[in-house]
Amino acid sequence: MQRINLLSPRLANQIAAGEVVERPASVVKELLENSLDAGASQLDIDVEQGGVRRIKIRDNGTGIMKDDLSLALSRHATSKIITLDDLEAVCSLGFRGEALASISSVSRMHLTSQAENEVEAWRVEAEGKDMATAIRPASHPQGTTIEVRDLFFNTPARRKFLRTEKTEFAHLEEVVKRLALSRYETGFRLSHNGKQVYDLRPVTDQLHAEHRLATLLGKKFIENSLTLDVEAAGLRLWGWIGLPTFSRSQADLQYFFVNGRVVKDKLVAHAVRQAYRDVLYNGRHPTFVLYLELDPSTVDVNVHPTKHEVRFRDGRLVHDFLFSRIHKAIADVRPESDVAPTGMSESASNGAVNYDVNMTEQSALPLSNRAASTSMDWMRTASSPLAASEVRGQLDGMGRLSDYAQEYVSKTEEVNTETGEVREVSPFVGVGGSESPFERSEEGYQAVPPLGFAVAQLHGVYILSESEQGLILVDMHAAHERIVYERMKTAFYQKNISSQPLLVPINIAVSQSEADLVEESGDVFGAFGFRVERTGLESAMVREVPVILIRGDVEGLVRDVISDLSANGVSDLMESRANELMASMACHGAVRANRKLTIAEMNSLLRDMEVTERSGQCNHGRPTWAHLSMSDLDKLFLRGR
């Protein structure tokens, strides 16, 4: 056994570098965060060979005083915190004081700086050696320039783990992109091997902020996103969320910032995923650039060496705030006459989407001739006795749904006459007529609704509608499916979810911590019709379950909910299971393909879409309608050339 020895400063720094400096992108992140903390309004980044050979960053911040230059390269030396109180309410991006020491221990570093209100600049150099450094005069304007050369030159084993130049630069570019999205008031210039990649000027208004977004994330993101800015309970959430139809196969266009710090947090991811749950196609991921602002003392940023993770003091409050605001923004999207629609092809998209997500009421369109959506329940939407029989099969498999579900089956089965003939029931009410406010006169329509007026049905699948701007195509089954589903959910939750006591309660063996969680979360279970009680140190009992899930795997669901509560502080599994069943029933109850509709029925469906939440997507996340403007149609036929 060897004796215990004190590590040399150089070796200690190189060990610390393993946490701080993973690749060139890590170096750029640490240095840029220092520059931003120094109040820089302009950052110039020049790299060679993906940053392995050379990284040079210049800022116009407050600079470093001569007497502090030596300390700047020492471990645990920082100007950003002094006491524990400072650490508990960190407002700066960096605060640990390890970045420069770690970087200088595995590279050749030159640091030149002129502090604010000083007349001279000074330069310090370090080349992977111990921290004894020499300071000499230099020529430099106010601010700091740091040059890092030959990364990992003295740790060849670490250098072998670096990827190709293209890959390393892609990681580095992503770091610059994230920081540029976090600081709109700061300009960023990025060059690679002498070629300029970005020249982002400081911005102060919405228009230029969206221009920066388009430059960094692509024009399509801006064209297919909603703006968001809401406040409640000391929290503010603002930014952009992508339309459900602008989803991705990977979670590669998701940026979330907490007090200006980019984070990847499980609680945040869960809240956003839950908000998009009803409108995303299976396996797709939403897109967003969101900013959460809250009291720094209510969030702990010191839980991970890379500072990518945070911990909220009241995680449940944050989760519910994020979910409710994003969910409402998506739900409030309505077809508008002056916007590009959801579900359009990229080639057909020319204008920017401008949905109003601050709407607090349903569409103000005059719909006096159709039954109000609040009074028209989903029981009147069956298209044929076949739909009723399919739903009967669903009910037999899952147990009795509830009184209103039984009434739905009864109503739809009444269409069989005594002679056995089948009479189709119209899935729509409030059809157009002489009282409709949307009438055509010799001069044209008195008013044109967002989705226009139906003119034809194509192959029994699509509705063709004439709008003010061009042609609207609607997938009638997908659109009606969403309408039926939303009405089912409204009816289900307005009844406060019917529960049924179990003749034989289910006893579940759990750990002590899980039993504690059950005891604390009675309101969570109760909100969805469950009554789960703690019955011992390591046991719980399920006494009541919601009627809609009575034939399901109750014990498995309760265990999953407990696990979800333990991991995220919240759970949506019970709601998810209920929604899955209702979505399946809505699919069966919606008007089927090849069903011939009258013009009045088609127009009634269009009007329903205009006042139904999330009507841009069916229950499976597919788009329900698409738009071709007159300009798009003219291009197809080369008009105007």
Q: Residue 155: pLDDT above 90?
A: no
In the chain, which residues fall in CATH 3.30.565.10? 9-200
Q: How confident is the model at residue 350 (pLDDT cuts 50, 70, 90)?
A: very low
C-alpha span between 595 and 387 (Å, rounded): 13
Q: Which residue has the higher pLDDT, 378 or 577?
A: 577
Distances (CA, A) of 99 to 91, 96, 305, 357: 17, 8, 11, 42
pLDDT for residue 377: 30
Q: Residue 103: pLDDT above 60?
A: yes
pLDDT for residue 381: 31
Other C-beta atoms closer than 10 Å to the C-beta of 247 total 20
Least confident of 323-327, 418-422, 464-468, 598-602: 418-422
Identify the CA nearest to 615 among candidates 466, 485, 460, 457. 485
Q: Which residue has the higher pLDDT, 320 or 594?
A: 320
C-alpha span between 542 and 558 (Å, rounded): 8
Structure-token match 């106010």, residue found:
142
What angle, 0 to 180 degrees and rounded to 10, lies between the N-to-C axes of helices 512-520 and 554-568?
90
Identify the CA nearest to 149 among candidates 168, 175, 128, 169. 128
Helices (H), 339-401: 385-398
Distances (CA, A) of 28 to 44, 216, 561, 637: 11, 18, 41, 51
Please enumerate in sequence order all residues whose Cβ is within 8 A of that of 527, keeping only pairs 6 or more positions apart, or say none.
497
N-term to C-term CA, the chain: 87
Q: Residue 427: pLDDT above 70?
A: no
pLDDT digits (tens, 9 = 90+) for 512-524: 999 999 999 888 8
Judging by DSSP bridges, how do beta strands 453-458 and 470-475 pair with one another? unpaired
How does 321-336 read in b/e, with b if 16+ C-beta sit within 10 Å?
Answer: bbbebbbbbbbbbbbb
In the chain, which residues fall in CATH 3.30.230.10? 218-331
Please tell me what DSSP assigns to residue 528: T
Calculate the CA dihedral of residues 390, 391, 393, 396 and round it to 10 degrees: -170
pLDDT for residue 351: 32
Backbone angles phi, psi at 89, to 5 degrees: -140, 55
C-alpha span between 21 and 102 (Å, rounded): 7
How many residues are listed for the chain in this entry? Answer: 641
Question: Which run of H or of E encompasses 269?
Answer: helix 266-275
**448 within 8 A of 468, measured Cβ to Cβ:** yes
C-alpha span between 65 and 113 (Å, rounded): 8
Question: Which run of H or of E encompasses 522?
Answer: helix 522-526
pLDDT for residue 175: 96
pLDDT for residue 220: 94
Q: Which residue has the higher pLDDT, 603 or 87?
A: 603
Q: Residue 393: pLDDT above 60?
A: no
Q: Which residue has the higher pLDDT, 188 or 18?
A: 188
User: Could you give the 3-state DSSP secondary structure of residue 639?
Assistant: coil
pLDDT for residue 437: 46
pLDDT for residue 361: 29
Q: How confident is the model at residue 81 (pLDDT cuts 50, 70, 90)?
A: low
Q: How confident is the model at residue 358 (pLDDT cuts 50, 70, 90)?
A: very low
Share above pLDDT 90 across residues of the chain, in percent, rounded to a whole number: 43
| Residue 423, both tokens | 């009479």
C-alpha span between 495 and 485 (Å, rounded): 16
pLDDT digits (tens, 9 = 90+) for 20-77: 788 999 999 999 999 999 999 999 999 999 999 999 999 999 999 988 887 888 777 7
Structure-token match 């000074």, residue found:
122
DSSP assignments along 116-164, one per residue: TT-S-EEEEEEESS-S---EEEE---SEEEEEEESTTTT-HHHHTT---
Identify the CA nearest to 353 among candidates 226, 469, 217, 213. 226
pLDDT for residue 80: 65
pLDDT for residue 498: 77
Q: Which residue has the higher pLDDT, 335 or 443?
A: 335
Q: How confident is the model at residue 404 (pLDDT cuts 50, 70, 90)?
A: very low
Backbone angles phi, psi at 391, to 5 degrees: -65, -35
**172 within 8 A of 25, measured Cβ to Cβ:** yes
Q: How confident is the model at residue 84 (pLDDT cuts 50, 70, 90)?
A: low
Q: Residue 433: pLDDT above 70?
A: no
Q: Residue 273: pLDDT above 60?
A: yes
pLDDT for residue 307: 63
Q: Residue 384: pLDDT above 50?
A: no
Evaluate whether the domain defined by 218-331 bears CATH number 3.50.50.100. no
Please give the mean pLDDT across all residues of the chain.
79
C-alpha span between 56 and 50 (Å, rounded): 12
When pLDDT is averaged across residues 110-128 and rounded to a whole number, the result is 90
pLDDT for residue 524: 80
pLDDT for residue 96: 61
Identify the CA nearest to 352 among candidates 228, 162, 221, 443. 221
Please enumerate in sequence order all residues whose Cβ is within 8 A of that of 98, keeping only pairs 6 or more positions apart, or say none.
16, 19, 20, 75, 76
Q: How confident is the model at residue 170 (pLDDT cuts 50, 70, 90)?
A: very high
When pLDDT is averaged across residues 499-509 and rounded to a whole number, the result is 92
CATH architecture of 9-200: 2-Layer Sandwich (3.30)
Share above pLDDT 70 across residues of the chain, in percent, rounded to a whole number: 76
pLDDT for residue 200: 96
pLDDT for residue 334: 74
Distances (CA, A) of 180 to 43, 107, 147, 210, 305: 10, 26, 20, 12, 22
When pLDDT is averaged across residues 146-153 and rounded to a whole number, the result is 94
